[in-house]
Every structure is written in structure tokens, then in C-alpha cells.
């Protein structure tokens, strides 16, 4: 057994894939065991029933319709939130005065339950893409801002001083020392932002959409179709997992020294 454990602890792609598959199998087995004891199918259904429900959604085309609506909104707003978050983080890290004046405001906004304001966004922007875009943007931007500023401020001071001793300009110091050092922090913030974006898009589609995973979950729950609800939850979980694994791989590629 020890050689198997040693192999799974490696950082190779095959080992990573096997770890994900092993985790998925454990979840499915636990799910199946629990469903044997929960006889009320309004509360929990076996994985096989969820698979059948998803197959029916694929057959009638509803899954693709909802996927287009959700993926389009969440990906576009997520990318914009990452770009805005990095820019704001750079600005806060570059100016102490701006950080002292704008930091408390951003902290206050981050503490506000933005998701609870979803009905207001729908009232302001109407049903459809605009309200979903703004809501996801609001919930996803703050982790990127915080981690970008923290990463830039945590840059290794001896490395910066060494670069200055070689007469490096501020731009050269930023591109070769400060920003590369902050990349793992930024990617960590992006991973958190992706998870928050998925939550935000579901809530937004609860209130202001005629299509999407959130709309499908809401309509299925209203008819007590537990298998369909769990099917769409499973798809959202898969999106979260794919995003997390992808960003982890991106971090290893951009900052390989972190793995040493």
C-alpha cells in the first residue's frame, strides 16, 4: 500500500487525475450508502437517479440551454471581475494614501451581503444578462483585490533591494520581482473568486432569469424533483472542481518555484 500512497502524493498529472477520481468515487459511494438509509426520495435520491435525470435533460435540450445561459454570464463577469480586481489591487498596493482611504470602503462593501441585494439588482437592471453580470461581478471581485494587494505588499524586500542595487527601474522591479512574487497570491484569490462567482450566478438566476442552472434548480425544487435538483448541483460542482484544478495548474506553471 505504501508505494500507492507515495505515487498519489506525487505532483504528476496522472497522480493528480487519480486523486480526483478517487475523491469522486468516495463521494459517490458515500452518497449511495446514505441514500439506502434515507427512504424519503424527496430528501435524497441515489446517484443512478441523478444520472437518469441528467440524461433526460440532455435529451430534451434543457441542459444545453441552461448551460449556455449560465456559462456565458458567469465566465464573462468572472473575467471582468479578475481584471478589475487586479487593477484595484495594484492601485492600492502602489499608494499608501489610496490604501488608507479606499481600503476601509472596500472592506465595508465586502462585508455587505451582496447576494441579499439580488432582488434590487433585478429591479434596477431587469431580468436577464445585465443583472446576473453585475451581481457576479460584485461578489467575485473582492477576493482578487485583497489577494493582489497582499501579494504585492508581501514581496521579498531583500530581492527588491538587490534589484535596486543593480540600478533596476521601478518597472523592471515590478515585472521581475514584485509581480512574479505576488502571482501565487493572485491565483489563490482567483480560485476563491471562481467559487463565489458560481454561488453568485445561481442566486442571480433564482431571482432574475428565465434560463440557467439556478433557474433550473429553482423550477425543479418547486416540483419536488430532487433528482433534477441534485443533477444541476452536480454539474455546478463539476464546474467548480474544473476551475479549481485549472487554476492550481496555472499557479504551478506561473510560479514553479513555489513547488520546490
Which of 70, 24, 82, 68 minimizes the C-alpha distance to 198?
Answer: 70
Contacts 24+ apart (CB under 8 A), 150-156: 150/185, 151/89, 151/181, 151/182, 151/183, 151/184, 151/185, 151/186, 152/89, 152/90, 152/93, 152/94, 152/178, 152/179, 152/182, 153/93, 154/181, 154/182, 154/185, 155/181, 155/182, 156/181
- pLDDT exceeds 80 at position 173: no
Q: In this predicted model, what pLDDT tens digit does every residue of 119-145 receive, in sequence order?
A: 787 777 777 788 888 888 988 998 899
Crossing angle of helices 213-222 and 179-208, in 10° steps, is 40
Numbered ranges of CATH 1.10.3720.10 in the chain? 52-259
Q: What is the pLDDT of residue 1?
A: 61
Q: Is the pLDDT of residue 4 over 70?
A: no
CATH placement of domain 52-259: 1.10.3720.10
Please state the rounded mean pLDDT for residues 94-114. 77
Q: Which of 33-42, 167-176, 194-203 has the lowest mean pLDDT?
A: 167-176
Rounded Cα distance, 96 and 127, in Å: 40
CB 198 within 8 A of CB 236: yes
Grade residue 41 by pLDDT with cuts at 50, 70 and 90.
confident
Q: With bands split at pLDDT 50, 70 and 90, how would you rate the model's confidence at 188?
A: confident
Residues 197 and 144: beta-carbon distance below 8 Å: no
CA distance 192 to 197: 9
| pLDDT score of 76 | 92
pLDDT band with cut points at 50, 70 and 90 for residue 12? low
Contact criterion met (CB below 8 Å) for 78 and 140: yes
Say what the pLDDT of residue 257 is. 62
Contacts of 209 (CB under 8 A, 6+ apart): 69, 127, 128, 132, 215
Closest CA to 141 of 131, 151, 133, 130: 133
Cell numbers given for 117: 441585494
Q: According to the model, what pLDDT value does residue 150 have?
A: 85
Amino acid at each position: 500500500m505504501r508505494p500507492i500512497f507515495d505515487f498519489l502524493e506525487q505532483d504528476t498529472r496522472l497522480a493528480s487525475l487519480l486523486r480526483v477520481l478517487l475523491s469522486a468515487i468516495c463521494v459517490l459511494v458515500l452518497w449511495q450508502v446514505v441514500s439506502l438509509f434515507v427512504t424519503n426520495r424527496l430528501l435524497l435520491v441515489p446517484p443512478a437517479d441523478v444520472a437518469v435525470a441528467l440524461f433526460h435533460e440532455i435529451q430534451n435540450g434543457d441542459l444545453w440551454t441552461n448551460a449556455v445561459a449560465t456559462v456565458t454570464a458567469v465566465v464573462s463577469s468572472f473575467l471582468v471581475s479578475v481584471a478589475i480586481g487586479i487593477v484595484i489591487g495594484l492601485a492600492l498596493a502602489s499608494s499608501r494614501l489610496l490604501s488608507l482611504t479606499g481600503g476601509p470602503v472596500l472592506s465595508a462593501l465586502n462585508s455587505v451581503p451582496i447576494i441579499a441585494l439580488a432582488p434590487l439588482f433585478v429591479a434596477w437592471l431587469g431580468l436577464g444578462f445585465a443583472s446576473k453580470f453585475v451581481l457576479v461581478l460584485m461578489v467575485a471581485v473582492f477576493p482578487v483585490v485583497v489577494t493582489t494587494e497582499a501579494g504585492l505588499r508581501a514581496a521579498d524586500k531583500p530581492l527588491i533591494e538587490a534589484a535596486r542595487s543593480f540600478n533596476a527601474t521601478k518597472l523592471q522591479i515590478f515585472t521581475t520581482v514584485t509581480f512574479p512574487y505576488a502571482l501565487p497570491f493572485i491565483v489563490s484569490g482567483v480560485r476563491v473568486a471562481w467559487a463565489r462567482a458560481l454561488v453568485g450566478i445561481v442566486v442571480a438566476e433564482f431571482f432574475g432569469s428565465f434560463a440557467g442552472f439556478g433557474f433550473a434548480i429553482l423550477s425543479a425544487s418547486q416540483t419536488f424533483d430532487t433528482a433534477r435538483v441534485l443533477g444541476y448541483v452536480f454539474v455546478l460542482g463539476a464546474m467548480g472542481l474544473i476551475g479549481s484544478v485549472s487554476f492550481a495548474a496555472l499557479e504551478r506553471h506561473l510560479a514553479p518555484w513555489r513547488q520546490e
